[in-house]
A = this chain, B = another copy of it.
Amino acid sequence: MRVTCTFQAVRPHTLGLIGLGAIGGSIARQVKQPGSGEGIVVVGWSPEPAERALAAQQGALDDAPARATDVARVADLLILAAPPAANIAQLETIVPHLKPDAVVTDVGSVKRSIVARAEKIGLHERFAGSHPLAGTHRHGFEASRPDLFRGAVVYVTPCRDGEQAVREVVDFWQTVLEAEPVVLDADQHDAQLAVTSHLPQIVASVLGDFLAQHAPPGASIGPGAADTTRLAASEPGLWTEILLMNRDEILPALRGLEESLGTVERALEVGDAAALTAWLTRAAKWRRRIGGS
């Protein structure tokens, strides 16, 4: 189910960011763009002092305190923009420091675990998960962009009794970052992303690893193989977390894909041109409908 929400704007006075990588850094940069987040004070923290300094120096932050809790203390909207496991750990750490009405979200690619944790620690009325479909395989603040979220779908996953938090988080993505928020249950989100994102990551990395081992030395890698493996350049530590956190949804999808590969293999073995063409045609029809270069 896909529900696009529109609410009346409630802008945060102070936006807090914990994590200043490609996603956190891009949020900060876009909010500080002229015409985007007028009047919003952006305060951010990264475990790497050099990244904090760079973000402040480039005008993406109004303040870059030395501790994450100092960000939590001043934020009206706090965004956890570290990898998923670190976000969950931060959630517990920052709770005692939050302002009474502060709303918290995150930007991780898996949503059941953090939503469950927010509910467990009693933050459910003030937390809603976010997942912007605007990833990049590059990482760190250097990979941030001032327009990463414009027009991008952002899934927002509610906690129980979290309507007000959902409203504020949806509103932030929509009015400040010009993204397209879509409210989706965390269970549905993780099942859907297992197929549409986590499986493509596995396929790209398995193919990349295979080519690393089996392409003859010096063989040219054409644009087709480069595109098919582009995701393999993604951050290994981050993806280990994502794959493990969502493995109950990913494993059945992976087994289904292996079955499809087996079917193609058998068609090739027996030289079944009609079966190969039917399969390639189904895939081509779908891919041409998706569009994009």
Contact = CB atoms under 8 A, between A and B. Distances in A.
A208 interface: yes
Interface in A256-275: 256-258, 260-262, 264-265, 268-269, 271, 273
Query: Which of the four size classes fits the interface of chain A?
Result: 35 or more
A229 B200 contact: yes
Given A196-B219, A254-B268, A286-B208, A230 B261 contact: no
A97 B33 CA distance: 67
Contact of A221 (B257, B285, B290): B290
Nearest to A292: B226
B282 A209 contact: yes
Contacts of A205: 264, 279-280, 283-284
A11 interface: no
Given A247-B271, A268-B247, A211 B196 contact: yes
Say how many copies of this protein the assembly contains. 2
A200 B219 contact: no
Interface stretch (A114-122, A165-173, A235-243): A235-243
A8 interface: no
Given A209-B279, A264-B206, A219 B192 contact: yes
Interface of A: 2, 133-135, 137, 153, 182, 188, 191-192, 195-197, 199-212, 214-216, 218-237, 239-240, 243-244, 247, 250-251, 253-258, 260-262, 264-265, 268-269, 271, 273, 276-277, 279-288, 290, 292-293
